[in-house]
Structure formats: structure tokens, C-alpha cells
């Protein structure tokens, strides 16, 4: 098993990519702490994993709350004695053309996608630094390259890329790898509402001519969280079916 007995904290695990990561990591031997603001979802996920013989805990948190995040990390370390892996996956979108985008839409996306990643990484880094081991995977997006109607989302994901580079430099001396996964179009609740005509236009821009499955994004997170990726840090890896090649 590639993550045997590793303690992995996954944000945004209530559905979609985050849930797929949690299930994949559990199957590879990790102790999974699934977090999301959707309490019912993560409690259900943890119960299912435990019923299948895996080890899991569901913790409802708001990643924009410093006190929530710090309490979560304290609970993980207090329960399991360590924290080995952080997957910063929690994110939202609030799309609108820039001229119509409200300050509330801007703030909501920046706070969850960027501030949330910062708060979680900062809190998780402390026990990782003490144990001289850790893996932090942040989540950007092909949207970081720019997309009409997503000024807030693109800015948040560009920020996550910059955060990744800086953390990789600061934490390398503690044997902590920090990388970033940038998915393209993926079959999730976030993309389920895209009209068919728009969806088809997006697919035409993807060389592999389809959206990713959440499990395919989870596989990349698994590799980066494993010791097979021990000499990889500060990298942004696009998992987008080749869509970013033309940028």
C-alpha cells in the first residue's frame, strides 16, 4: 500500500474530487480525515469508509475560519499523533462577467479558494515541520490561465500557484513536499450545470475530447502524496487532457 498508516487530511471531501481522493487514499492504507462545510456528507463518507474496514474521521469545518482550521489540525494530531498529508481541495465558483461581478462574489471565492488553502497549509505545516516529514497538495485549475466570467476564480487559482511555489521553498528544509494539481474539466457537481452546448464547446478544446473523472484527478494526488514523488516539489501539474497545451 502506497500510503500505509499515513494520516491524510482532505478538505472539500464532501463530494466530487475531494470524495474521490478520500476513497483512493483509504484504499491505499491512509488514515483519512475528511473535512467539508457539508457536515452530513463527510460524516456519511467516513462512516462508509469505516464500514468497509478503512480508518476515517469526518470533520465539518469552514476553511476560511482560522479557529476552525487550527482546531481541526489539533484534533487530528491529538487523535493520531501526527499529520502526514494535506490535500487542499475545498473550492467554490461564483461566475460573472467582471463588469457584473459583485464584491461579495469576489470575496467568497478568494476567501475559500485562496485564504482557505493558506490557513490549512499554515496550520498543517507546524506538525509536519516537527516530524520532519509532510506532503501538501494544493489545487489550482486550468482556470488559472484565464476564463471569461471567472476573474475571481482565476485570481484565486493563480494565488494558489504562487502559494505553492513559496511554501515549497520555505518548507523544503523540513522534508516537506508542496505541489499543485491543476485539473481541467472534470465530472463534478461544479460542472454538472454547464449547458450541453457550452459543454460541447469546452470538450472541443480538450485534445482527449472528454472531461476527466474525479478518480483520475485523485490518482495524481495519490502519486504526489506518496514517497514515489519524494524529489518533486514546487510543481504545478495540469491534469486536463491536454487542454493547457494550446495556451
Cα–Cα distance measured from residue 243 to residue 184, given in angstroms and rounded to the nearest whole number: 7
Determine, yes or no, domain membership for 215. yes
- Condensed to tens digits (0 to 9), the pLDDT of residues 112-154 reads 999 999 999 999 999 999 999 999 999 999 999 999 999 999 9
Position 59 scores a pLDDT of 96
What CATH number is associated with residue 37? 3.40.50.720
The total domain count for the chain is 1
CA 195 vs. chain centroid, Å, equals 25
Determine, yes or no, domain membership for 212. yes
Q: Is 80 labeled as catalytic in the residue annotation?
A: no
Determine, yes or no, domain membership for 68. yes
Determine, yes or no, domain membership for 1. no
Determine, yes or no, domain membership for 221. yes
Nine cell digits for residue 18 = 475531494
Position 236 scores a pLDDT of 98
pLDDT in tens, the chain (247 residues): 999 999 999 999 999 999 999 999 999 999 999 999 999 999 999 999 999 999 999 999 999 999 999 999 999 999 999 999 999 999 999 999 999 999 999 999 999 999 999 999 999 999 999 999 999 999 999 999 999 999 999 999 999 999 999 999 999 999 999 999 999 999 987 777 778 888 898 899 999 999 999 999 999 999 999 999 999 999 999 999 999 997 6
Determine, yes or no, domain membership for 2. no
Position 202 scores a pLDDT of 87
- Condensed to tens digits (0 to 9), the pLDDT of residues 58-78 reads 999 999 999 999 999 999 999
Determine, yes or no, domain membership for 231. yes
Q: Which of 80, 133, 153, 174 is catalytic?
A: 153
Neighbours of 149 (CB within 10 A): 15
Residue 148: which domain range?
A: 7-246
CB neighbours of 148 closer than 8 A, spacing ≥ 6? 97
Amino acid at each position: 500500500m502506497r500510503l500505509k498508516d499515513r494520516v491524510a487530511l482532505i478538505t472539500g471531501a464532501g463530494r466530487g474530487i475531494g470524495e474521490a481522493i478520500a476513497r483512493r487514499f483509504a484504499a491505499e492504507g491512509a488514515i483519512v480525515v475528511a473535512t467539508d462545510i457539508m457536515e452530513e456528507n463527510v460524516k456519511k463518507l467516513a462512516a462508509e469508509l469505516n464500514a468497509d474496514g478503512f480508518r476515517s474521521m469526518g470533520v465539518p469545518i469552514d476553511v476560511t475560519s482560522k479557529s476552525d482550521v487550527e482546531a481541526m489540525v489539533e484534533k487530528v494530531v491529538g487523535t493520531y499523533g501526527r499529520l502526514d498529508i494535506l490535500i487542499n481541495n475545498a473550492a467554490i465558483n461564483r461566475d460573472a462577467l467582471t463588469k457584473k461581478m459583485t464584491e461579495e462574489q469576489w470575496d467568497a471565492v478568494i476567501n475559500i479558494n485562496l485564504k482557505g488553502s493558506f490557513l490549512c497549509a499554515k496550520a498543517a505545516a507546524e506538525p509536519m515541520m516537527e516530524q520532519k516529514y509532510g506532503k501538501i497538495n494544493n489545487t489550482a485549475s486550468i482556470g488559472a490561465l484565464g476564463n471569461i466570467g471567472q476573474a475571481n476564480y482565476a485570481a484565486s487559482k493563480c494565488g494558489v500557484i504562487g502559494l505553492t511555489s513559496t511554501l515549497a521553498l520555505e518548507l523544503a528544509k523540513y522534508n516537506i513536499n508542496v505541489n499543485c494539481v491543476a485539473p481541467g474539466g472534470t465530472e463534478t457537481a461544479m460542472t454538472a450545470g454547464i449547458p450541453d452546448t457550452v459543454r460541447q464547446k469546452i470538450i472541443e478544446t480538450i485534445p482527449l475530447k472528454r472531461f476527466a473523472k474525479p478518480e483520475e484527478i485523485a490518482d495524481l494526488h495519490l502519486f504526489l502524496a506518496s514517497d514515489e514523488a519524494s524529489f518533486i516539489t514546487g510543481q504545478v501539474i495540469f491534469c486536463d487532457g491536454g487542454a493547457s497545451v494550446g495556451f
